[in-house]
A and B are shown apart, each in its own frame.
Chain A
Amino acid sequence: MTGKLRASMTHIQGPLSSFAMLIVLSAGFTLAAPEFLTENNISNVLRQASPLLIASLGQMLVILVAGIDISTGALVAFASVGGAVAAVSGGAAAGVAATVGLAALAGTVSGLAVSVFQVQAVIATIGMLGAARGLALLISDGQPIGNLPPGFLDLANSYLLGIPAPVILAAAVTMLVAGWLLLTPSGRALFAIGGSADAARAAGIHVRLHRTIAYGAAGALAGLAAVIYTGRAASGQPTFGVGLEIETIAAVVLGGTALGGGRATVAGTAFGAIIVAVLSNGMELAGISPYIERVVLGFALIVIVFIDLTRRRILENIRNRQIAMANR
């Protein structure tokens, strides 16, 4: 009974602690800048957080299967530019399909390199980073691509029942990813692969296929984020997403997902993404320069990972000691 309770506590610990951090952070910014806690600004933060949240869920899938995706930002740029070209010539639906499809394709290529050709995740995705960023610059010739059909822009800028459409989209995607990971065999397979690829293989899971699916899905989610970024700027831009991979990794780790695979929490990642968005919004409101924001973000990423790793090591030590006591 207590064992079961403890197990479920560790399961919600990640989301819980990141939620607590979100509350503390928001309280701090409210004291520093009273306009932080206005309805207008909250809606603003959530709108800013939604593409980051969607991309972070993708990063989480890759980290879950013991990988890492350094190319998230470059995929967003590539998908944004490619999708904008498709939207200009083929209309809004073609644009959205191309944006998501191109990023999914690029993610799948990374996934194949990692799973079939055994290239380390960092190397494969850093290669993809160069290729995707280069393609984005090549297609757009370094210029934003505008004149998008209005339907394409609606997805990022319209409201439904007073709630911004990207927020609804992000919430829906979060539900979908959670449902996939927790309720379907292929979702559970990702946990097994991240825990131990050998054990997963022995259990009859097609490891290469599911690894590729995780990277492909991460690409598709980056593409979905690109749809929102593109719609918000009303143009496809090859400079989109610089530093996005850092923000997504920070969001995922903040949420309590372990680097190294086998564990992931969807709700935690969602809170983590909102925290990163709150951090940049709050600093903006407090009048801090975007350059300092980058310095803080780089520093914060290291601190976040360090705290997470230390916490994990302490827990492991306690567990080992308990086992040693029980065996005595």
Chain B
Amino acid sequence: MRSPLAQRSSGSIWNWRQLSPLLIPAALMAILAVIEPRFLTSANLMNILLQASPLALAAMGQAVVIISGELDLSQGSAAALAGVIAVLLAIETDSVAVGWIAILVVSVILGAVNGFLVTQLRIPSFVATVGMLTYADGMAYLITGGLPVDFPPDGYSWLGRGYIGSIPVSVLFVAVVAVAMHIFASRTRAGRALYLIGDNANAAVIVGIRPSRYRFYAFLLAGLLTGSAALILTGRIDSAPPTLSATLPFEAIAAVAIGGIAMTGGEGAVWRAVAGVAPIAILVNGLNLLGVNTYIQLILIGAITIAVVALQNVQQPIWFRWRVFS
């Protein structure tokens, strides 16, 4: 007989939250492979990876912030503003390097402002980042007058459009970043500190870890990852519209939730954010192949987010009580 407490803690890997990031994409792929012959081709699968790469970066940034117990709703307009400034600077100086550095620097600065507002002024993160969203959005429109800016110099779009052999550069980039992020979160002092802070900030203070400091780092890192997502997004279309990707934080939060990272913070490996991107990318690709109206994507992603988080909180869904796996 196990005690109720032992049952509650997820000692076994066979529980819903652990499995959902694997089960959902597998089920989706199986369904799509049956009903749409064009789905399971190598060209299309590569296409899915390509489409998913900016979201994977943004989702990892969101994951780090969520693990530390906060939330970043400003990713979309921060990416747009960074893209606008970077492309304009790249055109002005006719230098790709300036553009790339600018997009990362601007994103990190915006992340630092978020972090400052949340940790130093102690404003709740959803308010601070919603304020930042509005501010960055307004700035992006103000700078461009609402229109996409001109083409950046040649070479700017290498990360978004280039290939090394037959593999897109952006996919390789995401793979490298994912490995680095995994090592950061699971092996470094700062990474482990984020989990402790998200789980129990008071305990972190007692063992000498300042929550505000590491939460600030989390926002910096999220800014950097959002910036690299913006670099791929602007590179792909070779332009920087102020409307770059308004739904980015929405999709990133969905990916984090579907991946099985606890929305309350302190729990869940970073790779889960990348895994959580898979069902979204597969779904979007499948719906496009089937010719379904793109608006349905928004509805489905929203509904899936709520459903998955709801299921996470119901510790074991009814059909898991059959103990199929234990």
Q: Write the residues of chain A forming the contact surface with B, with a CB cutoff of 8 angstroms.
A: 68, 70, 113, 117-120, 122-124, 126-135, 137-138, 142, 243, 245-246, 249, 259-260, 289, 291-299, 301-302, 305-306, 309
Q: Output the least CB separation between A256 and chain B (Å).
A: 16
Cβ contact within 8 Å between B247 and A130: yes
- C-alpha gap A134/B295 in the complex (Å): 5
- C-alpha gap A298/B138 in the complex (Å): 8
Q: Output the least CB separation between A249 and chain B (Å).
A: 7
Q: Output the least CB separation between B290 and chain A (Å).
A: 15
Cβ contact within 8 Å between A123 and B296: no
Cβ contact within 8 Å between B132 and A130: no
- C-alpha gap A234/B176 in the complex (Å): 53
The B interface, classified by DSSP as helix, strand, loop or mixed, is helix
Does B155 have its Cβ within 8 Å of any Cβ on chain A? no
Q: Which A residues lie within 8 Å of B130 (CB)?
A: 70, 245-246, 249, 298, 301
Known contacts being A126-B305, A131-B302, is A302 close to B264, with CB within 8 Å?
A: no
Cβ contact within 8 Å between B264 and A120: yes
Does B183 have its Cβ within 8 Å of any Cβ on chain A? no
User: Which residue in chain B gives the minimum CB-CB distance to A136?
Assistant: B295
Cβ contact within 8 Å between A119 and B309: yes
User: Which residue in chain A gives the minimum CB-CB distance to B136?
Assistant: A298
Cβ contact within 8 Å between A302 and B297: no
Q: Which B residues lie within 8 Å of A132 (CB)?
A: 302
Q: Output the least CB separation between B67 and chain A (Å).
A: 14
Q: Output the least CB separation between A294 and chain B (Å).
A: 3
- C-alpha gap A129/B247 in the complex (Å): 10
In chain B between 108 and 164, which residues have their CB closer than 8 angstroms to a CB of chain A?
117, 121-124, 126-128, 130-139, 141-142, 146
Cβ contact within 8 Å between A123 and B305: yes
Cβ contact within 8 Å between B134 and A294: yes
Q: Which A residues lie within 8 Å of B295 (CB)?
A: 134-135, 137-138, 142
Cβ contact within 8 Å between A134 and B71: no
- C-alpha gap A137/B73 in the complex (Å): 22
- C-alpha gap A130/B301 in the complex (Å): 7
Cβ contact within 8 Å between A246 and B131: yes
Cβ contact within 8 Å between A291 and B141: yes
User: Which residue in chain A gives the minimum CB-CB distance to B144?
Assistant: A291
Known contacts being A68-B126, A291-B142, is A298 close to B296, with CB within 8 Å?
A: no
User: Which residue in chain B gives the minimum CB-CB distance to A112?
Assistant: B310
- C-alpha gap A127/B136 in the complex (Å): 22
Residue of B117, B121, B130, B136 contacting most chain A CB atoms (<10 Å): B130
Cβ contact within 8 Å between A298 and B302: no
B299: which of A130, A295, A301, A309 is its contact (CB, 8 Å)? Answer: A130
Cβ contact within 8 Å between A113 and B306: yes
Known contacts being A126-B250, A289-B142, is A298 close to B133, with CB within 8 Å?
A: yes
A135: which of B71, B135, B299 is its contact (CB, 8 Å)? Answer: B299
User: Which residue in chain B gives the minimum CB-CB distance to A113?
Assistant: B306
Chain B, interface size category, equals 35 or more
Cβ contact within 8 Å between A295 and B257: no
- C-alpha gap A124/B142 in the complex (Å): 32
- C-alpha gap A138/B121 in the complex (Å): 41
Does B167 have its Cβ within 8 Å of any Cβ on chain A? no
Q: Output the least CB separation between B82 and chain A (Å).
A: 16
- C-alpha gap A118/B312 in the complex (Å): 10
User: Which residue in chain A gives the minimum CB-CB distance to B313?
Assistant: A118
- C-alpha gap A131/B302 in the complex (Å): 5
Q: Which B residues lie within 8 Å of A296 (CB)?
A: 138
User: Which residue in chain A gives the minimum CB-CB distance to B117?
Assistant: A302
- C-alpha gap A291/B142 in the complex (Å): 5
Does B263 have its Cβ within 8 Å of any Cβ on chain A? yes
- C-alpha gap A118/B295 in the complex (Å): 28
- C-alpha gap A267/B314 in the complex (Å): 39
User: Which residue in chain A gives the minimum CB-CB distance to B249?
Assistant: A126
Q: Output the least CB separation between B105 and chain A (Å).
A: 20
- C-alpha gap A243/B141 in the complex (Å): 14
Q: Which B residues lie within 8 Å of A119 (CB)?
A: 263, 306, 309-310, 313
Q: Output the least CB separation between A109 and chain B (Å).
A: 8
Cβ contact within 8 Å between A138 and B250: no
- Further contacts, 4 of them, CB under 8 A, given A130-B299, A299-B135, A301-B131: A70-B73, A122-B126, A130-B305, A134-B297
Known contacts being A293-B138, A309-B123, is A131 close to B299, with CB within 8 Å?
A: yes
Does B303 have its Cβ within 8 Å of any Cβ on chain A? yes
Cβ contact within 8 Å between B142 and A138: no
Does B166 have its Cβ within 8 Å of any Cβ on chain A? no
- C-alpha gap A132/B301 in the complex (Å): 11
Does B253 have its Cβ within 8 Å of any Cβ on chain A? yes
B138: which of A127, A134, A295 is its contact (CB, 8 Å)? Answer: A295
Q: Which A residues lie within 8 Å of B250 (CB)?
A: 126, 129-130
Cβ contact within 8 Å between A127 and B141: no
Does B30 have its Cβ within 8 Å of any Cβ on chain A? no
Does B42 have its Cβ within 8 Å of any Cβ on chain A? no
Q: Which A residues lie within 8 Å of B264 (CB)?
A: 120
Cβ contact within 8 Å between A306 and B123: yes
- C-alpha gap A246/B247 in the complex (Å): 16
Does B298 have its Cβ within 8 Å of any Cβ on chain A? yes
Cβ contact within 8 Å between B263 and A123: yes
- C-alpha gap A131/B298 in the complex (Å): 6
Cβ contact within 8 Å between B306 and A299: no
Does B9 have its Cβ within 8 Å of any Cβ on chain A? no
